[in-house]
A and B are shown apart, each in its own frame.
Chain A
């Protein structure tokens, strides 16, 4: 792992971001104290409307800050001329790409813009950087193809390659995982994590993929709707309760024990779940979906997952003989038919159906 060098690549002090409509400032978030270090992947998380895109666009110099200081590479962002800024910061936006006639290589070449002369001709060094960016993102194979023919996942990698070809210490990405299917989301996060380690760049991305971000990010910038940003490793933010608090406004309950958001509100009776391993984990998920509250303590209803393969399930209501089930589906069907009079609490089948 690349050790963080003592100097941060990007710093912000008392930064206020937002819009100035009709000369009246509309602050969205701030004041923020931020630092990006070399070689780290940082995920910017927060509910919709918290100002994630606004913050990214401000850091990239695409819109002015409403207040505070912002420095890149030790220089104030406001003092940098546009080409100098473009050699410090690159960004992947959510903007639609209309230029379908561009080939992948031509699009990645555009990233060399701040490094070329007034005619935009590419030197051998520029071409080497383009090639390196294509190889690093695994897009070299379709370099001759027009951008308009790419899938969403391919296009996102190509846009990342363009940002890499810009050869900046800091790379910003605005929701790069949106519109991607799960395998592509995982692949992109893995790629970004690897790139941060290998190249020593600081990579900051905003995302709604909380699960992935908690796994992949070296640090998380957590921007709640209140605008009071918290930063730290994902683990520290989860354990401190900041993570759950940031999303509480969306009516979501974050379970620090499992690292997931609860989809189902438990309303049914308690079920004692006995067993461990993968089979027990997935049985627990099925019981939660059905509205049961799985516990480890004694309850009127007991489900046992004996060790062994293939898995079998034993269910037993109080005072009844145990039943054996070959699949989770059979187990659930039997549990639904358990007379509610025998159980403490309301009927069991009020889950999501």
Chain B
């Protein structure tokens, strides 16, 4: 560049004045959902009491304090981990595959994790006769996480190996769907030859639930999701470079192979661990990135990653609140609620914006 052009006034660094405000608003929503999620349930606890208990102040109702500490707080924390983890894993996949339909479930990752869980549950069950995740100790939870992550990672690696040969994203998506179908069939076959009580445990797992992840399990989930999120945030710059495709990324000095490995590792850890503990929770992974892009109106991952984190957590907390069916004693399976509630939201966003194709990636 000419020196004369260099001295030109640099443009404002601000990436749109309203974006930080939106992030703050999302954080507020997460906080609100967090408190509400703890307050709602078969025993309704006043919001003020919830806040008091959370802040460690003494309450006049020890039963409430017990419920909050032992059941609802772990569940809300699980919702935070699940929502942010799935959303970030979906965001990374959509950018890596440059495909708006990519997500942990669409490309067979969830199915791969499911296969891993089925291997542990159904094979382990034959030895220890019908036990649930809840019955497994710390060692058991690590086995489960390892199996689910390995399953997710294998499917992801397979999809990526094929993606090097198959340039067309639509074809790749079909490949992912077929892989999901094959792993699903293997699990079905296994179920067919298993004892009914073993199948029941697996079926309950497939409905998806935030409950029951307490104590050491929660610590394991939080640690794995934490590592996955750190890896994802470290990939913000490579993800931005990948927006223009791998060739441009390479021409801008990105070591594409290494970045891709990092992104796959992060995605597999997140999707694998979450699916292992909470079952296949659909929709959050594919929908939240779109909602975040529509809200923040940017493609910069340094904004999208925190946005997807907050958005995913807020959506999952909201879905869990709805799943409690306020005013009733029953609660619905979470994966049902996320789909019932999330699909119309995404449809509304997509149809409201006319330039669907270009706004998605």
Note all chain B residues with C-beta closer than 8 A to A128: 6-8, 10
Interface of B (DSSP majority class): loop
Q: Which residue, B15, B244, B251, has most C-beta atoms of chain A within 10 A?
A: B251
Chain B nearest CB: distance from A129 CB in Å? 7
Stretch from A66-74, A102-110, A277-285, A344-352 that touches the partner:
A102-110
Complex CA distance for A135 and B2, rounded to whole angstroms: 11
**B11 and A90 contact, CB distance less than 8 A:** no
- CB–CB B255/A135 < 8 A: no
Partner of B8, one of A135, A164, A199: A135
Asked if B300 and A106 make an inter-chain contact with CB atoms under 8 angstroms apart, the answer reads yes
Closest to A88 in B: B253
B residues in contact with A99, CB < 8 Å:
98, 243-244, 299, 361
Residue of B nearest to A99 (CB): B243
Residues 244-270 of B at the A interface (beta carbon under 8 Å): 244-245, 247-248, 250-255
Which residues of chain B are near A116, meaning CB under 8 Å?
237
Question: Is B98 touching A98 in the complex (CB atoms < 8 A)?
Answer: yes
Q: Evaluate whether A130 and B5 lie within 8 angstroms (CB atoms) in the complex, with A91-B251, A99-B244, A102-B243 already known.
A: no
| Nearest neighbor of B13 in chain A, beta-carbon distance | A127
Known: A136-B1, A149-B355. A100 touches B361 (CB 8 A): yes
- Chain A 130-160 against B: per-residue CB contact (8 Å), 1 yes, 0 no? 1111011000000100111100000000000
Take A82-B250, A82-B253, A136-B1 as given contacts and tell me if A98 and B245 are in contact as well, using a CB distance cutoff of 8 Å: yes
On whether A110 and B11 interact (CB within 8 A), knowing A101-B299, A128-B6, the answer reads no
- A96→B244 CA distance, assembly (Å): 8
Cβ–Cβ contact A100 & B355, under 8 A:
yes
Shortest B52–chain A CB gap in Å is 39
Q: In this complex, what residue of A is CB-closest to B237?
A: A120
Docked Cα-Cα span, A112 to B360, in Å, equals 24
Cβ < 8 Å to B, chain A residues 60-98: 60-62, 82-87, 89-91, 93, 95-98
Kindly list chain B residues whose C-beta atoms are within 8 Å of the C-beta of A129.
1, 6
Q: CB of B293 within 8 A of chain A? A: yes
Q: Assess the A135–B237 pair: CB atoms within 8 A.
A: no
Residues from chain A with Cβ under 8 Å of B19 in the complex: none
| Contact B244 A110, beta carbon cutoff 8 Å | yes
Inter-chain CA distance A103–B293, complex, in Å, is 13
Contact between chains at B361 and A119 (CB < 8 Å): no
Given A82-B250, A131-B10, A101–B244 Cβ distance below 8 Å? no
> Is A166 in the interface zone, CB < 8 Å from B?
yes
CB-based contact A90/B2 at 8 Å: no
Inter-subunit contact B237/A113 (CB<8 Å): yes
Asked if A39 CB lies within 8 Å of chain B CBs, one says: no
User: Within 8 Å CB of A119, what residues of B?
Assistant: 236-237, 302
**Chain A min CB distance to B356 (Å):** 10
Chain A residues with CB under 8 Å of B360's CB are 101
Least Cβ–Cβ distance between B192 and chain A, in angstroms:
41
Residue of A82, A101, A131, A199 touching B298 (CB-CB under 8 A): A101
Asked, given contacts A62-B250, A106-B300, A136-B1, whether A100 binds B255 with beta carbons under 8 Å apart, the answer is no
Q: Tell me the nearest residue of chain A to B10, going by C-beta.
A: A127
Quick one: closest A residue to B9, CB to CB?
A131
Find out whether the CB atom of A132 lies under 8 angstroms from the CB atom of B1. Answer: yes
B:269-316 near A, CB below 8 Å: 293, 297-300, 302
Cβ of B206 within 8 Å of any chain A Cβ, yes or no, is no
Residue of B nearest to A115 (CB): B253
- Report if B163 contacts A (CB, 8 A): no
Q: Are B254 and A82 within 8 A (Cβ)? A: yes
A residues contacting B by CB (< 8 A) are 57, 60-62, 82-87, 89-91, 93, 95-103, 105-107, 110-111, 113-114, 116, 118-122, 124, 127-133, 135-136, 143, 146-149, 164, 166-167, 198-199
A-B pairs with lowest CB-CB distance, top 6: A100-B358, A148-B358, A86-B253, A120-B237, A83-B253, A114-B253
- Name 20 extra pairs, CB < 8 A, besides A93-B245, A127-B13, A147-B358: A62-B247, A82-B253, A86-B253, A90-B252, A95-B245, A95-B248, A98-B98, A99-B243, A102-B243, A111-B252, A113-B254, A121-B302, A124-B10, A127-B11, A129-B6, A131-B9, A132-B1, A132-B2, A164-B1, A199-B2
